[in-house]
Structure 1
């Protein structure tokens, strides 16, 4: 019989010394997972040897018998895009300023989900039909689920409520009504919450042990998608990071799932409990212009404890008949759970910071909805499309966390959509430039937190130039490291995938890694991936806004990337790769509208 451990967290008060020792063990577990799940030239991280199609997880979580509340639909095309159209602002305008906030209503809530987490299309070829969503996902597997926690909304609910978002139906599944005083007592006026959770099994079915990384990329993509859609409505978004894992579990009604017992090694069998949802984070959505507010996490935590006693409607559907448990995923998820942080009570909201503009005419006049709903992950790049240098610089300016800060350093996350996060930027980008007109091919580096600049120079190869490239905007901390044709190199480092070399440029997202975990705690491990996911979301949207495409690359050879950069140890680690360029369209695949979709599951 295989020994098991519980997937649960203790609320018992732990002595300070023991707590510090526990934290060291948790960081060690995160580092162990990270190292064990690296791909190398001679070996890949452990995963299934083939895909068990009979047990491919259903991509749609439903709560059977929960009341289903339909949401409204919206036209994607604007016949005459108008920069002053309050209902359909131009994509590029959001980076300058947000429109006036709209009230919370059936229409605005519908629009928020329609432009962030809904289906964007169905695809079909031969006997296969599958759905695409506005928010990207590794392998289109979509482990991410979302919950609306809201005050009463006319035509949706007469009482404050918790609802699960069902993207296939573009509807809300009403899970519970909550006390009338909950929002009035704890949150600013005209605000609501969105909770995000992950079903690890959906991703592990295909990717095995590395799936925990990809689930957290997807959390970041979802946060970025929600932040962009909220901005269209004049709403700001802030991660409420003082909550503990147990608080989120109760708030979203996820403690209805049976406790999952973790086996001591990878095993296969019928484990319906493995389909539980892991609560990741909670986002507060509120009117733009709100300066600050107090969030009393301690009192909130006490109030949320009562949620377990409420009537929760609906039983979660079964996603697969049989499963494979990659035990290290669940052991690591246990180790990196966030505990309640009672001292984080005052939540300042920094003033909205516009992003730099150096080439406004790079954009094609698309509305936000046209960009977000037509975003696709390119399967192949054409190897010929060339990007203008100013367009390249413009894309990178929107990748900066602090926006345009009049000569100040890039560090704090003030610009859209990074301002949703609660920590200073920890993620940089090593860029492989292939086809940017006016820039030599080569290896470049975007420093997204300039406090790390000197450390990066010391940590990377001594032969690197660290020179600003030609005509680079003064407020863009981009540096040329080496002039070299790195097309074959970038392909080889990204698991020999042509897509990494056939675009205009590709990149590896390099995080300030072990020092961040040691300084803040093991709970920062998934958050570093969230930051890469938000950066990836910006790259996706920027590429489509200038008329090309992009793709996230989760498969890359970790340590060979570090060796190329001269990085030793774990102070900096590459967490996510990306490619941007001209897509190759597969004419064998037909596109169908997202709603109404075919009457079959994907």
Structure 2
């Protein structure tokens, strides 16, 4: 039975004629007559997009990078073609084909199911031992607790607090599940795999297993050589692989789905990092490995063979349900600061995984499908190669900045991560004080407390999992923050970009630190004014963007990242926005309010508000934080055991 889909990524079908800066809101006065939308009504169909053609600006600007011009062109073409505008939405289905709604649960038929331990939602584990209690939410941003040993219980807790079901919801004749890790439209394209040494009560051999969230269990896919972990990784460490099923998102969102899948990868990465932190574990991306290595490690190449069509097609295409390997995370005890990963030898060892006996056949998700060919062409273009010269580094754990610890409500990590919800509506009334606003933003900084240095390198929780310097900033629309004037603000998360940002945005912007702003918080006031209507209009006319305490657009250092590192950075920019979004979700709930991601926004009008031109900076994700409106018609049920299989 179809479940209601979150509105945070949806879009109105018939937006009215309007102006970006209505006469009642003159945030930037000289723009009031420049951004009026055309009167035509946007439609969604298989027709070609009206997005502008991509332009490549100096693809060889970094002497250490030589991006393939064809691949770069494909990525820029995808990004421009999937932009929403006032006159044309990105191509997608005309309506929702409920009969072919993808099954949100992947299962490997005939694979052995290994049940994991369930935990109560409060701060106690089943033993009710004080030693097992979850740490407070805000404490893990300052320091990690002593690491737990790998066991069935600790592995269970990691998945329970990161990728498991968090609740079931029911309304009328519909029942649907929620998960700890958020997903656009609650569609959940993200799958996870545990690659681990022998774990007592789970497996006597090193193994690869797929995580089945509905059952909170592991599906044993294969046993692996006993010397694999001792040769490459420290004791008490293991791997988690993440993959995406594009069809789950494309069923609702069409061509823009590739963006949303990678948002969800970022949310999952941050969810794993936070759950690991509660166990005293550190997490790092093994980003030297390439697409082929990840494919073999997770046992996904066995089921591929999808041929990309020349145009969008509809029909029975079961091979479209394949999983695209995204990334591999190393989870290890905190305190290990020196670890050398030999990617060349690791790749050679993974090559032997193709000879393993892989167990289980993936279940079918839909009877019929629609293939949006540009998604798969772009996914092909951004496949990362093996980079044997990459150095795996572990930086010391820095605490995050603190200016108002009393803003938090005293919840444990588990209480925050498992009770997180995406707000469907905001009340338009709730306010937060300035100190709480600053505290939330301090936890959004990549370098933590900074230590007197500029923010750039991603060292703080959970950003330290990522292997590149911060590339994502935030343009904030402040609506209801007590002690802070309404208006447009900017959080610079990589201060090396400050001068470039200041030059790229409007000359009229002030770029002044607001009153009471902590010295180590690079937040700047750009312009004052009531920007509720602007925020709403830019986010596809969704009230949720204007009815919160504040909303924001995540602005990525876009084309320079693709040219400087490689086109495979394209999905990684979305991962970074997802990690930042996850922090906003958790921070909101930790201070007693709520949040939601907004994937539907008018891309280039956002740039126009900021004065951005070209592709050096691009808006990739929107978010809103505020007081939620609860729908009393919807009843909540426990995540486990949950309703029966026919619900």
TM-score, with structure 2 as normaliser: 0.89
Bigger shift: residues 45-54 or 299-308: 299-308
Q: Are 1:570 and 2:591 counterparts?
A: no
Return the match for 1:149 from 195, 198, 201: 195
Which residue does 1:532 correspond to in 2? Answer: 577
Residues 424 and 596 of structure 2 are in contact (CA less than 8 Å); yes or no, is this contact kept in structure 1? yes
Residues 404 and 436 of structure 2 are in contact (CA less than 8 Å); yes or no, is this contact kept in structure 1? yes
Deviation track 1:487-517 (CA, whole Å, cap 9, x = no partner) reads 0000000000000000000000000000110
Unaligned 5+ residue runs, structure 2? Answer: 1-63
Q: Are 1:53 and 2:137 counterparts?
A: no
Q: What is the CA-CA distance between 1:85 and the residue it aligns to?
A: 5.8
Which residue does 1:43 correspond to in 2? Answer: 88
Residues 292 and 347 of structure 1 are in contact (CA less than 8 Å); yes or no, is this contact kept in structure 2? no
Which residue does 1:356 correspond to in 2? Answer: 401
Alignment of 1:178-577 (within 5 A): 178-344=224-390, 346-577=391-622
Q: What is the CA-CA distance between 1:322 and the residue it aligns to?
A: 0.1
Q: What is the CA-CA distance between 1:20 and the residue it aligns to?
A: 8.1
Hey, what's the Cα distance between the residues in 2 that align with 1:172 and 1:600? 18
Which residue does 2:69 correspond to in 1? Answer: 24
Hey, what's the Cα distance between the residues in 1 that align with 2:449 and 2:269? 22
Residues 293 and 347 of structure 2 are in contact (CA less than 8 Å); yes or no, is this contact kept in structure 1? yes
Hey, what's the Cα distance between the residues in 1 that align with 2:131 and 2:219? 32
Hey, what's the Cα distance between the residues in 1 that align with 2:185 and 2:218? 25
Hey, what's the Cα distance between the residues in 2 that align with 1:526 and 1:255? 20
Which residue does 1:127 correspond to in 2? Answer: 173
What's the Cα RMSD here?
Answer: 1.4
Deviation track 1:249-308 (CA, whole Å, cap 9, x = no partner) reads 000000111310000000000000000000000000001010121111111111111111
Q: What is the CA-CA distance between 1:76 and the residue it aligns to?
A: 1.1
Which residue does 2:8 correspond to in 1? Answer: none
Instruction: List 4+ stretches of structure 1 deviating above 4 A.
Output: 19-22
Which residue does 2:18 correspond to in 1? Answer: none
Hey, what's the Cα distance between the residues in 2 that align with 1:440 and 1:575? 26
Hey, what's the Cα distance between the residues in 1 that align with 2:241 and 2:67? 27
Deviation track 1:289-334 (CA, whole Å, cap 9, x = no partner) reads 1012111111111111111111000000000000000000000000
Q: Are 1:96 and 2:163 counterparts?
A: no
Return the match for 1:166 from 212, 227, 243: 212
Hey, what's the Cα distance between the residues in 1 that align with 2:81 and 2:593? 36
Residues 86 and 99 of structure 1 are in contact (CA less than 8 Å); yes or no, is this contact kept in structure 2? no
TM-score, with structure 1 as normaliser: 0.95
Q: What is the CA-CA distance between 1:599 and the residue it aligns to?
A: 1.0
| Number of equivalences | 581
